[in-house]
Structure 1
Amino acid sequence: MPVVDIPGSKSLTARALFLAAAADGVTTLVRPLRSDDTEGFAEGLTRLGYRVGRAPGAWQVDGRPHGPAVAEADVYCRDGATTSRFLPALAAAGHGTYRFDASAQMRRRPLLPLTRALRDLGVRLRHEEREGHHPLTIEAAGVDGGEVTLDAGQSSQYLTALLLLGPLTRKGLRIRVTDLVSAPYVDITTAMMRAFGAEPDRQGDVFVVPPSGYRATTYAIEPDASTASYFFAAAALTGGEVSVPGLGEGALQGDLRFVDVLRRMGARVSCDASGTTVRGTGSLSGVTVNMRDISDTMPTLAALAPFATGPVRIEDVANTRVKECDRLEACAENLRRLGARVATGPDWIEIHPGTPLTGTGLRTHADHRIAMSFAVTGLRVPGISFDDPGCVRKTFPDFHEAFEALRGRLRSSR
């Protein structure tokens, strides 16, 4: 049985870096993800004056509960949404002038719900070019706290940024949320905050965060569940078996629920404290599934869908249109290039089986999840290539090598 060593979670690594920087003392992060996104986050912390030691297998961060060590900084966030959204919130708790900019791709992605909430809390900031987008300058003088209303219907990262900020405010935060997408990522945030000594509380649509500060700790990063979805899908598609250790019962990441979708389609799934195993049965049924809470795995299912015995309809994924690219349309475009029948709406995509697929060049739109998802399709359709295969460096620089190795192991295990 192929056992796949999945790199650490991007979501957990980013949150852990924020928490470690804000904590009182030195934190050790075990098995953090090393990728363009997380290296960019660590570099951003360094620009803000935090010490980040990056040894193989573990990173150490010297925390500064009162904010950045420098009074001025210019931070380039690369393509990282977590970097672009979390670091401005961290800087707001300090004292100084901090400018944030990002790649052209990240400049297109929305920021306004977060910056509007920060303004409501008294933070002085300005969008230098387009309102609600990077580049952004913050004139920080600490944050008193209080009550704020937030629309997190485009991204749960807006809420996470405010939650992470809460213990650093002088009076704590009370956040009223009018809409929320990808709710399991917020559960990750609050669980990790507790591991660092904070006490967030949820009361329906209201999140209450006392001004407790954070304590340094040693924190182990679990494997990335979104990345694991490609390997689980490979097993379901080929009739093989894949096991991912360290990602099982008790895992923080909601994207592990993707295996429940595979189970509904006919794959056999076992999950215990040690990890998760998926075994394909040689057939995949059509399915209609709401993926609002696990939308990062929507492209994985879309890439798998043409091989089902019936239509696959994915619903409530409007937020995928404002990711690294419009993922819903990117999936539809590539599936049509391969010859599949596809229909889309504002927040849904439906893929119909039965049409033979032909390998061709696919467009990644510089989006790591598009490239990794359609690598799954390539297990059954020879001749697929990508215009930018290197975009996977964002979260898994060695993805193509690891996936090709899995392909060989699945063949030899038949």
Structure 2
Amino acid sequence: MTVIEIPGSKSVTARALFLAAAADGTTTLLRPLLSDDTEGFAEGLKSLGYEVRQEPGVWHVEGRPAGPALDDADVYCRDGATTARFLPTLAAAGHGTFRFDASPQMRRRPLGPLTTALRRLGVDLHHHGAEGHHPLTVTAQGIKGGTLTLDAGQSSQYLTALLMLGPLTAEGLAITVTDLVSEPYVEITLAMMRAFGAHITQDGRTYTVAPTGYRATTYAIEPDASTSSYFFAAAALDPGRTVTVPGLGTGALQGDLRFVDVLRRMGAEVEITETATTVRGTGTLRGLTVNMRDISDTMPTLAALAPFADGPVRIEDVANTRVKECDRLDACADNLRRLGIAVTTGPDWIEIRPGTPSGTGVEIATHGDHRIVMSFAVTGLRAPGITFDDPGCVRKTFPDFHRVFEAFTRTP
């Protein structure tokens, strides 16, 4: 059995940084993820005047319930969607003029439902290029609060940003959601907000957030479940191989741990205890049809594993993967075809036929997307010779991925 220490969750780290910055007092974050995305978030907070002290394995954040310490600032969000969506929302609760920009990749990703909602709350927000995209300027004067209707069918991060804003408003916030994707990520948000002292009630698709503010705390970041999926998939592919990820157990916040339920349906053995999750390959990988709307970040992992199943693998309800770092649905399909695998796609689905990928001389087109690289590393276990046009883009969430994955696969 191989035990893999997976770096901290990107999603949890980003939320923890927002909540810590908004809290009254000094928050200590244990085992935060150190990657380009989370470093970008921390640097963004510093650009707004927050004090963030980073030590190995421990970050300390001095909270400012009144908002950014500066009243005029420029923030570069790099490639990070959480940075690009959460920090303008945090700044809107303060007072001042705050300019935000991001990488060309992030500029292409949509913000419209979030920025429209902020405007409805009275925020003076201006897009400088394409409407609903970075760059943008927020001229903040605090937020009274009120009621909103939100379409979060494109990204649950829109809802998360507004929920986390709620305790910072003067009168609270009520949000009715008409559509929602990746709902488990919202459950992460709610649990973490409560850990920082927020009060939220839910009636169907309406979330009501009281204007409580936040309390500083010490918060431990759990391992990243999405990153764990590559190691779980690799174990499922190899008969007799067992991998255990400590820190991801029955109480884990992240919905992407449900990926192991998909592997169980395909034939792998899965055990989830209070403290860890273990997957063992059995030599059986069955084809299946699976709805991955709520765990769509692991869609590329399953797509990369799918050729080795004994029947077709059809992944449904993943339209939102088309507006991630790249169009992941088409990226997976195109790369699988390069490897000689038969694939069909639709607006929100992909179907992959069984086959033997030929990796010799095939370069995977990553589109700068860390999840494409890490997913097709799994395919490469049975298709020697695969290369990547941008292997270093894994720095976004797991800078040491290639070394750790190679060491894992070399271990009996």
Give, as a single letter, the amino acid of the residue that structure 1 aligns with 2:159. L
2:182 paired residue number:
182
1:356 deviates by 4.9
Q: Does 1:200 align with 2:205?
A: no
| Superposed counterparts of 1:31-180, under 5 Å | 31-180=31-180
Give, as a single letter, the amino acid of the residue that structure 2 aligns with 1:171. E
| Aligned 8 A contact 1:36 1:394 in 2 | yes
| Superposed counterparts of 1:338-377, under 5 Å | 338-359=339-360, 360-377=362-379
Give distance in 1, aligned partners of 2:28 and 2:199.
Answer: 21
Give distance in 2, aligned partners of 1:354 and 1:211.
Answer: 55
| Aligned 8 A contact 1:182 1:292 in 2 | yes
| Aligned 8 A contact 2:370 2:396 in 1 | yes
Give, as a single letter, the amino acid of the residue that structure 1 aligns with 2:210. P
TM (normalized to structure 2)?
Answer: 0.99
| Aligned 8 A contact 1:196 1:214 in 2 | yes
1:283 deviates by 1.6
Give distance in 2, aligned partners of 1:356 and 1:197.
Answer: 51
Q: Deviations over 1:348-400 (max 9, x none)?
A: 00000035534311110000000000000011110000000000000000000
Give distance in 1, aligned partners of 2:123 and 2:178.
Answer: 21
- Cα root mean square deviation, aligned: 0.6
| Aligned 8 A contact 2:222 2:252 in 1 | yes
1:399 paired residue number:
401
| Aligned 8 A contact 1:100 1:136 in 2 | yes
Give, as a single letter, the amino acid of the residue that structure 2 aligns with 1:209. V
Give, as a single letter, the amino acid of the residue that structure 2 aligns with 1:137. T
Report the 3-state secondary structure (helix = DSSP H, G, I; strand = E; otherwise coil) of the residue aligned with 1:201. Answer: strand
Q: Deviations over 1:15-49 (max 9, x none)?
A: 00000000000000000000000000000000000
Structure 2: which 5+ residue stretches go unaligned?
none
* CA spacing shift, 1:356–1:331, aligned 2, 3 Å: closer
Give distance in 2, aligned partners of 1:358 and 1:233.
Answer: 18
Percent identity reads: 76
2:311 paired residue number:
310
Give distance in 2, aligned partners of 1:212 and 1:333.
Answer: 49
| Superposed counterparts of 1:190-339, under 5 Å | 190-239=190-239, 240-339=241-340
Give distance in 1, aligned partners of 2:394 and 2:76.
Answer: 20
Give distance in 2, aligned partners of 1:287 and 1:142.
Answer: 50
Give distance in 2, aligned partners of 1:24 and 1:291.
Answer: 38
1:388 paired residue number:
390
1:200 deviates by 1.3
| Aligned 8 A contact 1:341 1:355 in 2 | no
Give, as a single letter, the amino acid of the residue that structure 1 aligns with 2:132. G
Segments ≥4 residues shifted beyond 6 Å: none
1:201 deviates by 1.4
Give, as a single letter, the amino acid of the residue that structure 2 aligns with 1:384. I
Quick check: 353-362 or 239-248, which moved more?
Answer: 353-362
TM (normalized to structure 1)?
Answer: 0.98
Quick check: 350-359 or 379-388, which moved more?
Answer: 350-359
Report the 3-state secondary structure (helix = DSSP H, G, I; strand = E; otherwise coil) of the residue aligned with 1:255. Answer: helix
Give, as a single letter, the amino acid of the residue that structure 1 aligns with 2:143. V
Give distance in 2, aligned partners of 1:200 and 1:349.
Answer: 37
Give distance in 2, aligned partners of 1:366 and 1:200.
Answer: 37
Report the 3-state secondary structure (helix = DSSP H, G, I; strand = E; otherwise coil) of the residue aligned with 1:229. Answer: helix
| Aligned 8 A contact 2:322 2:330 in 1 | yes
Tell me the number of residue pairs that the alignment of Structure 1 and Structure 2 aligns: 410
Structure 1: which 5+ residue stretches go unaligned?
none
Give distance in 2, aligned partners of 1:202 and 1:257.
Answer: 23
1:223 deviates by 0.1
Give distance in 2, aligned partners of 1:375 and 1:199.
Answer: 42
| Aligned 8 A contact 2:359 2:380 in 1 | no
| Aligned 8 A contact 2:156 2:186 in 1 | yes
Q: Deviations over 1:165-213 (max 9, x none)?
A: 0000000000010100000000000000000000111110100000000
Report the 3-state secondary structure (helix = DSSP H, G, I; strand = E; otherwise coil) of the residue aligned with 2:286. Answer: coil
